[in-house]
């Protein structure tokens, strides 16, 4: 058996792309060359790695067994290459995913702080909703992700990272805006503005608010935090948002925070595939996250 690194790179690229044409484009080879390389890899392993479903290649059981091993081998090779380029400082590429609130309000400072002591590390960042990021972790397209929502995927390692305060916000002229202290019962019959399915914020609304109300109305469904805040300011309904996301709009007077008691918190999480090889730079970044923010707070 003579499996090459080129074949393994193609295999991982096909998993991530879902088809030969895009995988070949990523590796700067022809589709015919990619097809031949994949056929040769399957011939050497004496098994199919993908099920051919219409025009897509769907990873099968044998392929799923190979994926974490191939990813680890390629990551170890990358570690070796960087080790001998600069032996004095950690270096490499980290593929990081982040949910929208984390990506917009926490990640820039987190990366800036990490890069102060690790200037030779490069980041490729994907900001999306929790459901999308979980899918990318499953396909090893991301090394790790920082999530607002949770996941029931048993293949993922989830660690609580830090707490995040959730706030119910309303337009300044909303009837509840001047009502003082509120309980969950005061939120009955209200119209709510929601993020798209799969987002951590929507999941948190369903769990922390919706499941405790006998009756509520779904208003607009929007896929950005800023559009939701603008809709709230226009009087189109209430929304549940991270305090991180609402701060600027509250300071500008566009929206107000309702005094809901008791307050609501959710955990933000770090996530990666259980079979993901934690190469030195990735392990160091995870450790850094657990000790961040530095003394003095966010």
One pLDDT digit (tens) per residue for the chain, 298 residues: 788 999 999 999 999 888 899 999 988 899 899 999 999 999 999 999 999 887 788 889 999 899 999 988 988 888 777 666 654 556 688 999 999 999 999 999 999 999 999 998 999 999 999 999 999 999 899 999 999 988 888 999 999 999 999 999 999 999 999 888 999 999 999 999 998 888 888 888 999 999 999 999 999 999 899 999 999 999 999 999 999 999 999 999 999 999 999 889 999 999 999 999 998 899 999 999 999 986 544 5
Pair 169, 228 in one domain = yes
Pair 158, 271 in one domain = yes
- Can you tell me the distance from the alpha carbon of 103 to that of 96, in angstroms, rounded to the nearest whole number? 10
Domain that holds residue 203: 164-266
Q: What is the CA radius of gyration of the chain?
A: 23
The answer to whether 289 and 159 have CB atoms below 8 angstroms apart is no
Query: Does pTM top 0.75 for this prediction?
Result: yes
Pair 271, 151 in one domain = yes
The answer to whether 83 and 249 have CB atoms below 8 angstroms apart is no
> What is the CA angle 148-210-146, rounded to 5?
5
Pair 23, 41 in one domain = yes
The answer to whether 294 and 172 have CB atoms below 8 angstroms apart is no
Strand partners, 113: none
* Coil/strand/helix, residue 200: helix
- The tokens describing 147, both together, are 């999530």
Task: Measure the N-to-C terminal CA separation of the chain; round to a whole number of Å.
Answer: 53
- Can you tell me the distance from the alpha carbon of 265 to that of 251, in angstroms, rounded to the nearest whole number? 21
């Amino acid at each position: 058996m003579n499996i090459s690194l080129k074949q393994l790179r193609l295999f991982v690229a096909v998993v991530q792309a879902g088809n030969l044409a895009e995988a070949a484009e990523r590796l700067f080879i022809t589709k015919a060359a990619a097809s031949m390389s994949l056929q040769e890899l399957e011939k050497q392993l004496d098994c199919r790695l993908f099920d051919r479903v219409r025009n897509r290649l769907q990873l099968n059981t044998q392929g799923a067994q190979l994926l974490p091993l191939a990813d680890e081998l390629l990551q170890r090779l990358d570690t070796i290459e960087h080790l001998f380029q600069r032996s004095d400082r950690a270096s490499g590429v980290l593929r990081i995913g982040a949910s929208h609130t984390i990506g917009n309000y926490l990640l820039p400072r987190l990366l800036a702080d990490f890069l102060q002591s690790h200037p030779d590390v490069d980041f490729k960042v994907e900001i999306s909703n929790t459901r999308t990021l979980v899918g990318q972790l499953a396909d090893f397209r991301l090394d790790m992700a920082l999530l607002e929502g949770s996941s029931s995927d048993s293949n993922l390692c989830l660690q609580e990272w830090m707490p995040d305060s959730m706030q119910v916000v309303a337009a300044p002229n909303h009837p509840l805006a001047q009502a003082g202290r509120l309980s969950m019962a005061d939120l009955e019959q209200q119209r709510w503005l929601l993020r798209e399915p799969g987002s951590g914020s929507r999941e948190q609304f369903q769990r922390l608010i919706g499941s405790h109300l006998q009756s509520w109305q779904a208003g607009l469904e929007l896929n950005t935090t800023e559009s939701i805040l603008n809709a709230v300011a226009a009087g189109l309904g209430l929304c549940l948002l991270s305090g991180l996301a609402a701060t600027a709009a509250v300071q500008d007077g566009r929206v107000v925070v309702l005094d809901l008691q008791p307050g609501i918190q959710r955990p933000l999480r770090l996530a990666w595939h259980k079979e993901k090889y934690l190469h030195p730079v990735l392990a160091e970044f995870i450790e850094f996250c657990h000790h961040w923010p530095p003394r003095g707070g966010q």
